[in-house]
Amino acid sequence: MAKLTLEIITGEQLLLREEEIDEVVAPGSVGELGILPQHAPLVTSLQAGSLRVKRSGGEDDFFISGGFLEVRENEVKVLADSAERGTEIDLERAEEARERAESRLRGEESVDRARAEGALRRSLIRLKVGRRRRRGRADMAPGAGGAE
C-alpha cells in the first residue's frame, strides 16, 4: 500500500523529512484532520496544536504554533511558523512561558490582549504535547529507549 512522505519545514530549517508514514494528524484551522495515503490535494492553514505522525515503528508528536499544510500525491508538506519535537520541549521553559503570559494578562498595563492570549494558548498546548511524550516514555520497559 502507498505510504506518505512528510516534510516539516520552518522558516529557519528543514526539521524533518521522512518517508513510509501511515498517517498524519494535524491541527487544521477548522478542526483536527487526519491524512491517510491517497488523500486528495489539499491546502489548509493550521492553528497552534500538536501534529501526530503515525508509522509502523510508533508515533511521534510535534508542537506546531501555526502555519500551513499541503497534501499532494502522497506528499505532506507542513510549513510551520515554528515547530518542536515533542521530546525536545523543555517543560520548564514552557512552564515559564505560561506563567509569563498569565501574569501579563492579569497585569494592569495596557498589553496587547489578543497577543497575550495567543501566547498563553500556545504555551498550554506546548506543555500538553511535552507532557504526553514524557508519559509515553515512562510507560516503556526500563532500558527500552536506549538506541538514539
Partner 1 sequence: MPSTREIRRRIRSVENTAKITNAVQLVAASKMRRAQLRAEAARPYAESMRGLLANLADAGGDADSESLHPLLERREVQETAIILITPDRGLAGGLISNLQRHAGSLVLSPDQAGGISMVPVGRKGLDYFSRFDVPFRGEFQQLGDYPGLDDTRPISRIVIDDYMSGAVDQVSLVYASFVSTVQQRPTTIQLLPVEAPVAESAEAGSEVEYIFEPSPEAVLDELLPRYVEMQVYQAVLESAASEQSARMVAMRNATDAANDMLGDLTLQYNKARQEQITSELLDIVGGVEAMA
Residues of this chain that interact with partner 1 (CB under 8 A) are 7, 9-14, 28-30, 33, 40-45, 67-68, 70, 72, 77, 79, 81-82
Determine the distance from the C-alpha atom of residue 3 to the mean position of all C-alpha atoms in its chain, rounded to a whole number. 21
C-alpha cell at 128: 500538553
Nearer to partner 1, 33 or 124 (CB): 33
Euclidean distance between CA atoms 49 and 47, whole angstroms: 6
CB closer to partner 1 out of 29 and 87:
29
Question: 22: closest CA among 34, 4, 40, 42?
Answer: 4
List % helix, strand, coil for the chain (3-state, nearest 5): 30, 40, 30
- Shortest gap between Cβ of 73 and partner 1 (angstroms)? 8
Residue whose CB is less far from partner 1, 72 or 93 = 72
Minimum CB separation from partner 1 for residue 39, in Å? 9
Query: Shortest Cβ distance from residue 33 to partner 1 (Å)?
Result: 8
